[in-house]
């Protein structure tokens, strides 16, 4: 008989606020489905406590962690190393323990590209992306590395938008330019993929109207939104009415979770189990 074991392997997410973050339910569903005695804790960490919290991970032998708002940039100084992609973006959303070392990676953009590939190959595509924050940087870098031909960054503040264009120009081969987002944006006819990487529509702002001239949206354009909660946003609702293929924020959330799960455990989880767990909590 197997010896009794009451000690599980630990993983977690640090954020503030963090109570609305649904990652625990999808990761724990996957642990269970894979027969792993692992846990995933949702932990509120204030910015001034981040260094001690990371030391706590080390001391307690956590196998891995996710970082969410506002820790993705600040955490880097407390780690033993980061991946090339994370260095390019200047942000870490996933810590993996290797021996005594805590290593940082960024799975947000890879998760996005993985879900985009379920409907189209980014190779050679013309993309319009709204937003220039952390999610947009990760998506911009990974879609560029996946061979996108052109990325137009549309952002409310010029400073962040132009900084992302500079980053993509310096670090990748993609053609890129910035357009200031002032009123309803009109899409060019030859756009292939439209991405919302802003927080417009995120709970509790669920009725937010997306500033787009919807008559410029054509039924052959793929429309994608990063908002996981609620997964159906104004942008996706309007796009579906026009007949566009749509991708919701749960796809990105699941796929970045799959990558983190593999890095922590070495096991491939079932994305369907993870999506089903999220759909259940969001009542989809
Ligand atoms: P940041 O705060 O870094 O960036 C927010 C971006 O949204 C900025 O470009 C900001 O523009 C823009 N923005 C916010 N409000 C408005 C508005 N009212 N009108 C126009 N632009 C606006 O956030 P993150 O990039 O970290 O996160 C963005 C979203 O992505 C969040 O909702 C988060 O939940 C989601 N996300 C989803 C993931 C998933 O797996 N599905 C993973 C990671 C993030 P400006 O520069 O002008 O302020």
- Residue 100 belongs to a domain with what CATH number? 3.40.50.10860
> Does any domain span residue 3?
no
Domain holding 144: CATH number?
Answer: 3.40.50.720
Task: Specify whether the CB–CB gap between 54 and 72 falls below 8 A.
Answer: no
Assign 10 a pLDDT band (cuts: 50, 70, 90).
very high
pLDDT at 146: 96
191 and 114 within one domain:
yes
Alpha carbon nearest to ligand 1 atom 17, residue: 200
> Which of 199, 225, 234, 252 has most ligand 1 atoms within 8 Å of its beta carbon, as the pocket-test mutant?
199
Query: What's the mean pLDDT in 154-166?
Result: 97
Whether 218 shows a pLDDT value over 90: the answer reads yes
pLDDT at 116: 97
Which residues form the domain of 54? 9-106+251-282
Whether 283 shows a pLDDT value over 90: the answer reads no
242 and 117 within one domain:
yes
Assign 151 a pLDDT band (cuts: 50, 70, 90).
very high
Instruction: For residue 165, give the nearest of 127, 219, 210 by alpha carbon.
Output: 127
Is 72 a known active-site residue?
A: yes
pLDDT at 284: 81
118 and 241 within one domain:
yes
Task: Specify whether the CB–CB gap between 192 and 245 falls below 8 A.
Answer: no
Whether 2 shows a pLDDT value over 90: the answer reads no
- The per-residue pLDDT of the chain, averaged, comes to 96
Whether 131 shows a pLDDT value over 90: the answer reads yes
Q: What are phi and psi of 150, to 5 degrees?
A: -150, 135
Alpha carbon nearest to ligand 1 atom 36, residue: 226
Residue corresponding to tokens 């649904």:
22
2, 7, 32, 72: the active-site residue: 72
Per the structure, the count of domains in the chain is 2
Query: What's the mean pLDDT in 230-234?
Result: 95
Contacts of 153 (CB under 8 A, 6+ apart): 129, 132, 136, 140, 161, 164, 165, 168, 176, 177, 178, 179
274 and 222 within one domain:
no
Per DSSP (E only), the strands in the chain are 9-15, 38-44, 64-67, 81-82, 94-98, 101-105, 126-130, 150-155, 175-180, 193-196, 222-225, 246-247
Q: Is the CB of 252 under 6 A from ligand 1?
A: yes
Residue 172 Cα to ligand 1 middle (Å): 22
Task: Specify whether the CB–CB gap between 124 and 147 falls below 8 A.
Answer: yes
154 and 50 within one domain:
no
> Does any domain span residue 2?
no
180 and 72 within one domain:
no
pLDDT at 212: 98
> Does any domain span residue 182?
yes
pLDDT at 1: 81
98 and 125 within one domain:
no
> Does any domain span residue 16?
yes
> Does any domain span residue 127?
yes
Residue 70 Cα to ligand 1 middle (Å): 12
224 and 147 within one domain:
yes
Whether 144 shows a pLDDT value over 90: the answer reads yes
pLDDT at 229: 87
75 and 203 within one domain:
no
Per DSSP (E only), the strands in 68-108 are 81-82, 94-98, 101-105
pLDDT at 64: 98
228 and 115 within one domain:
yes
The atom number, within ligand 1, closest to the CA of 161 reads 46
Q: Is the CB of 249 under 6 A from ligand 1?
A: yes
Q: Is the CB of 253 under 6 A from ligand 1?
A: yes
pLDDT digits (tens, 9 = 90+) for 76-118: 999 999 999 999 999 999 999 999 999 999 999 999 999 999 9
């Amino acid at each position: 008989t197997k010896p009794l074991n009451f000690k599980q392997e630990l993983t977690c997410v640090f954020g503030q606020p963090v109570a609305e973050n649904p990652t625990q339910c999808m990761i724990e569903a996957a642990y269970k489905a894979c027969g792993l005695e692992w846990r995933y804790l949702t932990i509120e960490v204030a910015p001034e406590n981040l260094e001690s919290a990371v030391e706590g991970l080390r001391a307690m032998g956590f196998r891995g962690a996710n970082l969410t708002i506002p820790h993705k940039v600040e955490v880097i100084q407390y780690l033993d190393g980061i991946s090339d992609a994370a260095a390019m973006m200047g942000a870490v959303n996933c810590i993996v323990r290797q021996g005594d070392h805590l290593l940082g990676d960024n799975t947000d953009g890879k998760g996005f590209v993985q879900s985009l590939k379920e409907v189209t190959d980014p190779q050679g595509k013309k993309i319009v992306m709204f937003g220039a924050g952390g999610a947009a940087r990760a998506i911009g870098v990974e879609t560029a590395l996946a061979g996108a031909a052109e990325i137009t960054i549309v952002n409310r503040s010029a400073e962040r938008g132009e900084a992302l264009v500079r980053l993509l120009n310096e670090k990748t081969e993609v053609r890129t330019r910035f357009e200031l987002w002032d009123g309803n944006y009109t899409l060019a006819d030859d756009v292939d993929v439209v991405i919302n990487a802003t927080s417009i529509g995120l709970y509790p702002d669920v009725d937010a109207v997306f500033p787009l001239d919807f008559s410029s949206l054509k039924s052959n354009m793929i429309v994608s939104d990063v908002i996981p909660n609620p997964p159906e946003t104004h942008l996706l609702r309007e796009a579906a009415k026009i007949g566009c293929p749509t991708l919701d924020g749960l796809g990105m959330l699941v796929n970045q979770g799959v990558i983190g799960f593999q890095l922590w455990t070495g096991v491939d989880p079932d994305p369907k189990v993870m999506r089903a767990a999220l759909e259940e909590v969001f009542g989809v």
